[in-house]
A and B are shown apart, each in its own frame.
Chain A
């Protein structure tokens, strides 16, 4: 992780870093549960990539994708194997399995894009606050304690409401409200690292503060970012499902929340499949990420246990 070309060799951290990652990987390998979770995550990722591919290809070829194809002749077909609809069809005769794949795509999109918003904010502000201290630190601490004091879900809904419905609202709502925990942790770590010899040495060599922060300190606290990512991913997915269900989130695309909302209509009449498969899909990915996140945390930095990441 640490660049070997950097002028200042920080052997201690380099070594520690390497062994930290190697150790962690070894520890993960030992845990069958963690490997299983990793496998599940990879399967979901493959599904999402496939969904994205289908979506893109249909866009480029300018055809209606199969998950949107309606067929009123095939309304509410129960799942059966072997058949064209292994998971049955919904009220408009659309294939539940295809829609589920698209739901995975959207869930991953939400997980990744919200992380791309929240993690850089958290990391950059955390580094700056921790490294510079003083007035800058005061300001950033003030900023995140203000954000932290606003009730989370309401804040997300409010942002989504102001920005407008649809995916953009979901991205910004989740992304802009969930960087606080990470920022706090990074700030704490950076403060600790600031007094370490390798940082002192770098400073003595006259390196600029940003170079020190991002080239030298950041690699040493990067495991926090990884753990944070694995743990916030399922949270983002759950929030998206919730928002789409309420009609604030994704629209016109088969997101899991939208599917649950549609599936609920006919549950009473015994149409169980759409609901069941979607909930299982959500359960699977969230569980896998949660367990993997735990395992990673144990492997990388057991001290993080009680902290919110």
Chain B
């Protein structure tokens, strides 16, 4: 359901952010002067950071930034695959009542917020974290006046929260003192959440930035400026920043002061690289200082990397074939610099959706199937230089419910033409007009040349069967508006999983979620909807997985989307960055990374600014 996030990714054409998340740094020693080796590390971000308020961090880079400072009750375990949640600010996993409706969390004692002038009562000393903080933070996200884009995570789930949300509209200030039945602090360190109906995904939700603990004092003290003054319990604090340019984080001194002992995981599933366990059980975080730059232009970033002004970089599609050899190894110069290439499949799904409300494409299943068949998988993959896989259905690999059956509509021009004729458009000719069928593809952004070219390639595929695709570029807001008003015919969009559960993908086809909900194809199938209502309250069982498969099959047969790609995340990584492993939800995980200062200094001396 996460929207803003998926949006931003599809703007970026998918890859760039991912590539950069992969432990690539955009740092510049030369900018900073030389510190003690190992003391700092430079991580780069390519998209802008939209402030540090967790409830407003709708996109990946803002959420990543906020997750350095704030923490939630739970977190993903760093090394475990398949993904699993573990307690972070909670003492242990919650106790859940038998009906699955009441969750009780014990909150860790002795966790303190960082020191900040907003804590006036204690003279600026950070106070202890209590259960009320979570209640306050969840109410904040519900508060209509805050206009948070994240309320979907709690909407219609927590007893009394929706009513409280209603009460915040209008002119009167929102009443945070009002009790919400579903959110109660049983004592200072016990939080009870009551649900309106079973919601097995709640545990995933509680790892997300929307559920991070925010101290009320800071929100009230800084007001509108709170976005620039994060005050949290996390491993780092924001030391200084320059909007849209540079952010500097340093180790949170409160951790040492209060003796907080979070440790690197000491267990890992079999098959994990043993190097990842070298620091098992050691206290985190390892890195003292983090500098982030916002370099939105990928070409600039790449030039900086090549000149040595940056220590590392992501790799955009366009530079890919020049950098990577046929067998996916790094080409000469980069390999000589001691840079490693990492790759990992992601849970991101990109697609071209049909608006099922549209009189032309919506009512014509054969047409949609024909277009699916006309999509030239090999060429598309080649365009992306093998950095994607073509998904076969709505559930990506790595999530239970994924099926490795071949797609029923593989690339096949003859079959596509046949289907198109059956659909009523022989050779693409629309009998009503005598001209080729023309469809409009709505796109969210034109800033990124790679994104633009991919769309042109798609148009090219369709042209082969005689369907003319008119590309309509919008800026993001207009695009969204067209989605909401169901004015699009075809649209190109991506979905970044909110949590690793097929439910998160299948809800995109649930009829009540139609636009303005996330089901922008406005797909509606009674059988599918019935199954969805069944699975969304089920715990993880083989039976549920089976239902997932059935639902996936329904969607694949109907073709409301052309599934275009699951990107692989690729990034360049230096040998001096340790403990790095790709994670789809890397929020707060920077505390596990480590920099080998000596090796880095050596590397810099050799390959830095030439």
Contacts and interface: CB of A to CB of B under 8 A. Distances in A.
A27 interface: no
A91 B449 CA distance: 10
A109 interface: no
A82 B382 CA distance: 29
Contacts of A246: 447
Interface string A248-288: 00011000001001101111110000000000000000000
Contacts of B383: 72, 92
A68 B473 CA distance: 16
Interface stretch (B258-266, B298-306, B526-534): B298-306
Interface in B431-482: 435-436, 445-447, 449-450, 452-453, 456-457, 459-460, 463, 468, 471-475, 478
Interface of B: 299, 302-303, 306, 316, 318-319, 322, 379, 382-383, 435-436, 445-447, 449-450, 452-453, 456-457, 459-460, 463, 468, 471-475, 478
A68 to B, nearest CB: 7
Interface string A48-75: 0000000000000010100011101000
Given A72-B383, A165-B446, A252 B299 contact: no
A64 B412 CA distance: 21
A212 to B, nearest CB: 47
A164 interface: yes
8 contacts: A62-B468, A70-B457, A72-B383, A251-B452, A252-B452, A265-B316, A265-B318, A268-B299
Contact of B456 (A62, A70, A161, A265): A70
A5 B457 CA distance: 60
Nearest 7 pairs of A and B residues by beta carbon: A247-B447, A251-B473, A252-B471, A265-B318, A251-B446, A247-B446, A262-B449
Contacts of A269: 319, 322
Contacts of A91: 318, 453
A166 interface: yes
Contact of A247 (B379, B445, B459): B445
A76 to B, nearest CB: 9
A92 B459 CA distance: 13
Contacts of B456: 68, 70, 92, 252
A252 B453 contact: no
B441 to A, nearest CB: 10
A245 to B, nearest CB: 10
Given A251-B452, A265-B449, A92 B318 contact: no
A252 B468 CA distance: 14
A268 B449 contact: no
Q: Identify which of B299, B303, B436, B450 gathers the most chain A CB atoms within 10 Å of its CB.
A: B299
Contacts of A72: 379, 382-383
Nearest to B435: A62
A246 to B, nearest CB: 8
Contact of B475 (A165, A264, A265): A165
B484 to A, nearest CB: 16
Interface in A123-171: 161, 164-166
A52 B539 CA distance: 62
A268 B446 contact: no
A83 B3 CA distance: 48
B303 A268 contact: yes
Nearest to B447: A247
A252 B449 contact: no
Contact of A62 (B436, B449, B450, B475): B436
Given A70-B460, A252-B472, 10 more contacts: A68-B459, A68-B460, A92-B456, A164-B475, A165-B474, A247-B446, A262-B449, A266-B318, A267-B299, A268-B302
Contacts of A266: 318-319, 322
Contacts of A164: 474-475, 478
Nearest to A266: B318
Contacts of B436: 62
A102 B460 CA distance: 18
Given A164-B474, A166-B473, A251-B446, A265 B299 contact: yes
Contacts of A166: 473
A246 B297 CA distance: 11
Nearest to A160: B475
A268 B471 CA distance: 29
B193 to A, nearest CB: 43
Nearest to A247: B447
Contacts of A267: 299
A268 B478 contact: no
Contacts of B475: 161, 164-165
A72 B382 CA distance: 8
Contacts of B306: 268
B454 to A, nearest CB: 10
A251 B456 CA distance: 11
Contacts of A165: 446, 473-475, 478
B468 A92 contact: no
A64 B471 CA distance: 13
A92 B382 CA distance: 11
A264 B319 contact: no
A140 B44 CA distance: 52
A82 B475 CA distance: 42
Contacts of B302: 268
Contacts of B299: 264-265, 267-268
Contacts of B450: 265
Contacts of A62: 435-436, 468
Nearest to A261: B449
Contacts of B446: 165, 247, 251-252
Nearest to A249: B446
A269 B316 CA distance: 14
Contacts of B463: 64
Contacts of B457: 70, 92
A55 to B, nearest CB: 14
Contacts of A252: 446, 452, 456, 471-473
Contacts of A92: 383, 453, 456-457
